[in-house]
Amino acid sequence: MKKYRFEQYAATRLYTGAIAYSPDGKTLAHVANTTGQFNLWTVPSGGGMPYQLTAYADNTVRAVTWHPDGKSILFTADQNGDEFHQVYLMGARGGTPEQITNAMQAQHYIGDAFTPDGKIIAYAANEREPQNMETVIHNLETGEKTYPFVMSPGGEYGIYPVGWSPDGRYLLAGKGYSNTNQHSILYDLTNGEVINATEHEGELMLVPVAWAPDSSGFYLVSNKGREFLGLAFYSLADRSWSWVETPDWDVENVVVSKNGRVLIWAVNEDGASKFYGRDLTTGAALTLPDLPLGVVDSFVVSPDGSKLALVFAQPTEATNLYEFDLTTGQLTALGQSMIGGIDPADMIVPELVHYPTFDGRTIPT
């Protein structure tokens, strides 16, 4: 095998988990450090020439989401790595970013931030109390801010918005007390009602992940009565939740296509990621092609449910941006992360080994 210098292994282009399809599914927004700093880029779905939107030398772009009209992109960026992320809005073809928040000693986090009409965004911020991340509803037309969830005085926890229901009525958020104790809450924009959807006693994970396309409820992951995180659905009509899938591994992420056609989730099986899915029109399981051995950092589904964009790391390659065609099973690299001239054939693909335990189980290593 050819000998390589350490610098060649360290010569990598990094892609973060910040990825989002445009509303028409033709363009993918993502974040990469091609310029030496994490900037905002777009690339055509299916592959093509990447287009750089921000040109930061000091600021670091952290998260992205599209305006519903597809003409602009909302993102967060910090200054000189200070992790005090601010919210910005800029045109999908570039221009000068408009700074939406200006609390420079506060952190701001966005999910699927826009209401369907694009007039209001939701984000989490700790501007009022540094120890608490609270949800903020921000009217982009008037600048008015409201705080839908009352925070307990002196309480140390966070409330992070996941996104608005497709009909624009409810804001879904996750309320986290610790890494092992989280639940789901809702805010009804029509009457101000707060619904503690999965309130519980003790340490328990009930984490909201995605809305049903018809706004009838939302999907969540939970470890209630289980060793592993399973997939569940909360019904607004019944105000209760039930299991959808309970694999003997952790469900790590869940996405639903905007057209309501597919539900897809990733499971970590023996340290490697595998996709599963369901056709929401028929209820039938989807037959999804297997990924190469590796770990998915994040993934999003195209609005029509035909493609998955994913940030994916393999033993032979640093984290890279890919697109998975769910019809053909083709996995296409949209970027290049290994730029040190190392032949992938010279990299080692590990072999999974299980060791037996005294109680008849096995330990993967």
Q: Measured between alpha carbons, how far is 227 from 205 in angstroms, rounded to an integer? A: 11
Nearest to 234 by CA among 291, 274, 185, 271: 185
Summary mean pLDDT of the chain:
94
Q: Is 336 exposed, middle or buried (0-12, 13-18, 19+ CB in 10 A)?
A: middle
62-83 pLDDT, tens per residue? 999 999 999 999 999 999 889 9
pLDDT band at 155 (very low <50, low <70, confident <90, very high): low
What pLDDT sits at residue 303?
97
Q: Measured between alpha carbons, how far is 239 from 249 in angstroms, rounded to an integer? A: 27
pLDDT band at 350 (very low <50, low <70, confident <90, very high): confident
pLDDT band at 84 (very low <50, low <70, confident <90, very high): very high
Res 54 pLDDT > 70: yes
Q: Residues near 286 by Cβ (< 8 Å), separated by ≥ 6?
A: 262, 264, 276, 277, 278, 279, 326
Q: Measured between alpha carbons, how far is 111 from 207 in angstroms, rounded to an integer? A: 14
At residue 31, φ and ψ (nearest 5 deg) are -125, 130
Q: Measured between alpha carbons, how far is 162 from 221 in angstroms, rounded to an integer? A: 13
pLDDT band at 12 (very low <50, low <70, confident <90, very high): very high
Res 154 pLDDT > 70: no
Residue with tokens 């789901």: 184
In contact, 170 and 152? CB cutoff 8 Å: no
Nearest to 281 by CA among 311, 308, 250, 260: 260
At residue 294, φ and ψ (nearest 5 deg) are 170, -175
Q: Measured between alpha carbons, how far is 48 from 60 in angstroms, rounded to an integer? A: 24
pLDDT band at 355 (very low <50, low <70, confident <90, very high): confident
In contact, 31 and 18? CB cutoff 8 Å: yes
At 22 the three-state DSSP class reads coil
Nearest to 38 by CA among 85, 71, 6: 85
Res 192 pLDDT > 90: yes
Res 353 pLDDT > 90: no
Three-state DSSP string of 58-116 = CCEEEEEEECCCCCEEEEEEECCCCCCCEEEEEECCCCCCEECCCCCCCCEEEEEEECC
259-311 pLDDT, tens per residue? 999 999 999 998 899 999 999 999 999 988 889 999 999 999 999 999 999 99
Res 1 pLDDT > 70: no
Q: Measured between alpha carbons, how far is 313 from 307 in angstroms, rounded to an integer? A: 18
Mean pLDDT within 33-59: 96
What pLDDT sits at residue 289?
83
Handedness of CA 43, 125, 190, 173 (dihedral sign): positive
Q: Measured between alpha carbons, how far is 308 from 63 in angstroms, rounded to an integer? A: 18
